[in-house]
Structure 1
């Protein structure tokens, strides 16, 4: 499981994978599932899609009937990578926003029924995802903007259809979140309870992905389908699963600027697919001496990308240490590449010592711009590649018991 992720093509992606270190985190991941289902498309279009929609002036008109007192509406949206916030107060339930945009932009329309202000409303705020595009967009609702219905906007119609498609998992996710949040301290410590919650969220995540894949297949000409595909792909692209869906997107979608960039990421993922030769590289070790990946030819090597600041990486390190000591006498070793930041060599060295990482460690201390990480298309850590003595990649992202099982297949127990 990957816990730290490089900001995606379009934004820090809504489907950040959350490291499960406690039952409290299970509640968080449940919330993540719910948020991803309901507002993934709110955040996914941080960069305007100029190829699909020309920029210009937008007007958003909202009518919410049944309000019993003056209410403030907030429109929070992203334009050219910058966030913008507008507000309108109304006693009639009519709210109008306008502005200039360079293409399709994502936003959220929120009603503050209590007068506490946008940033104090909490997680259960009354909000509606909206995709802003040139022209007039209308939304009508009764009592709550979250129940709003759009008219006059094709992109929001697509979004609405997507949300409707995903709604079948709503009740199950809500129930599981409620169960996790209502757990007593004793339950939170109970391993069986933790296991039940984890498996429940995992099952719902799989169900959710199946619905997403079906939506993409059924609507290849939707911009929303492209955003959904990016979400399903996540930071570590499964080429066999993602590329066929990408190729089925309509030419109008696939040839957009963003989709073309995503295509490059798919191509990069092919370079480090299982069965390919691991790209060679050279970086300095902890003593500032150059080390080549090809120096390890003749051995099985776990090429491990991590960083001292990465909690999930540090949590996975004991598994790597265990594997190293169990199989190092059988022609196996580890080569770790750290994505530590410039000027943070001391933190890198301290983490190596604290975690007992006895194998070769290299880094150029360039954070996400680490040359080897870029060469391997690394956009999330921890991430690893198992390389055979000939230099061929024979496994990817093997953690915990999966790593141990793979090494036993090679060397025996």
Structure 2
């Protein structure tokens, strides 16, 4: 009887161990030309909130990971290249590729990895496709694979990350996805952001705001009555913002006597002294304001500013005329304004 019981408990233990093994992920890869290196693996959202290290020796690497459900992660290579990797318990993931083409890896082991691999292989066959052709490929992919986790990555890369994303187009694409995908943390955040940005989309009325300038005086939208107002969002700590200041200096120099146009800077700085120092260093002579609240500033939130630099053009009637305009677009708009004034 004791032997039977012992055998019974051994079988239970073995079964438990085998069950535990199937929950783990086997990850093996060979990337020719990578040599001895380190790859970092991190989660693209809170469903995989950690970072793992993959040690590469003679182009090869392998590890065992554990997750509770299907998650989206990112492979980060030492040259800065990032590539999505989808993981789920019990899967055996195989990664193959070349160090010369880290943005086009072949990954197998589950449906979303295969979906993305097939998609990228199709793109390679197109040579150098136009932006429109790329968008059409992504639209077709999402339509054919409504439940693929790869959809979120493709939507973000080809539509959301644009300087001026088409919110209506993004909404239409998300409508084609299954409910499970829409419940993902990224999608919840995206859909909420779209809802907020629609309130300040081109053609909508700009929200009222009040903010203090370098002298501590309150500045609001009505101070620029009867003028086109170009609001420049920047920060002293943002390198690209500082570089863009040169463009706004040129615009200000040309238009400072224009009675129908005004330029205003809104900084996302936290430190008053650093902000004022940057204003002086960059010779920003037009109206400069700051809330010292960074991304939590009320005005930045009102206009749904998520990246820097950014700019918004408001008409004398308070309508949003343009967003994130480059120098040529601003110059063209100013010519249009001048033409309208002459026609009056």
Normalised TM-score (structure 2): 0.75
Distance of 1:307 and 1:381 partners within structure 2: 8
What is the deviation of 1:87?
4.5
Secondary structure at 1:380 match in 2: coil
Corresponding position of 1:211: 137
What is the deviation of 1:309?
2.8
Q: Is the aligned partner of 1:134 residue 2:89?
A: yes
CA shift in 2, pair 1:407/1:61, >3 Å: closer
Q: Is the aligned partner of 1:150 residue 2:72?
A: no
RMSD: 3.6
CA shift in 2, pair 1:215/1:103, >3 Å: closer
The partner residue of 1:99 within 47, 63, 66 is 66
Distance of 2:70 and 2:40 partners within structure 1: 16
What is the deviation of 1:287?
1.6
What is the deviation of 1:266?
1.0
What is the deviation of 1:210?
4.6
CA shift in 2, pair 1:407/1:105, >3 Å: same
Q: Is the 8 A contact 2:312 2:322 kept in 1?
A: yes
**Structure 2: runs of 5+ lacking an equivalent:** 1-21
> How do 1:338-353 and structure 2 match up within 5 A?
338-340=267-269, 342-343=270-271, 345-353=272-280
Larger RCO of the pair (alpha carbons < 8 Å, separation 6+): 1
CA shift in 2, pair 1:100/1:273, >3 Å: closer
CA shift in 2, pair 1:72/1:315, >3 Å: closer
Q: Is the 8 A contact 1:277 1:392 kept in 2?
A: yes
CA shift in 2, pair 1:149/1:349, >3 Å: closer
Distance of 1:229 and 1:94 partners within structure 2: 30
What is the deviation of 1:397?
1.5
Distance of 1:123 and 1:108 partners within structure 2: 10
Which has more radius of gyration? 2
What is the deviation of 1:396?
1.5
> How do 1:314-325 and structure 2 match up within 5 A?
314-325=242-253
Distance of 2:106 and 2:245 partners within structure 1: 47
Secondary structure at 2:119 match in 1: helix
Corresponding position of 2:289: 362
Corresponding position of 2:180: 252
CA shift in 2, pair 1:215/1:388, >3 Å: same
Q: Is the 8 A contact 1:165 1:211 kept in 2?
A: no
Corresponding position of 1:180: none
What is the deviation of 1:387?
0.7
CA shift in 2, pair 1:292/1:130, >3 Å: same
> How do 1:13-412 and structure 2 match up within 5 A?
57-62=23-28, 76-79=40-43, 80-87=48-55, 95-101=62-68, 103-108=70-75, 130-139=85-94, 150-151=108-109, 153-168=110-125, 208-231=134-157, 232-234=159-161, 236-327=164-255, 328-340=257-269, 342-343=270-271, 345-412=272-339
Secondary structure at 1:246 match in 2: helix
Q: Is the 8 A contact 1:294 1:391 kept in 2?
A: no
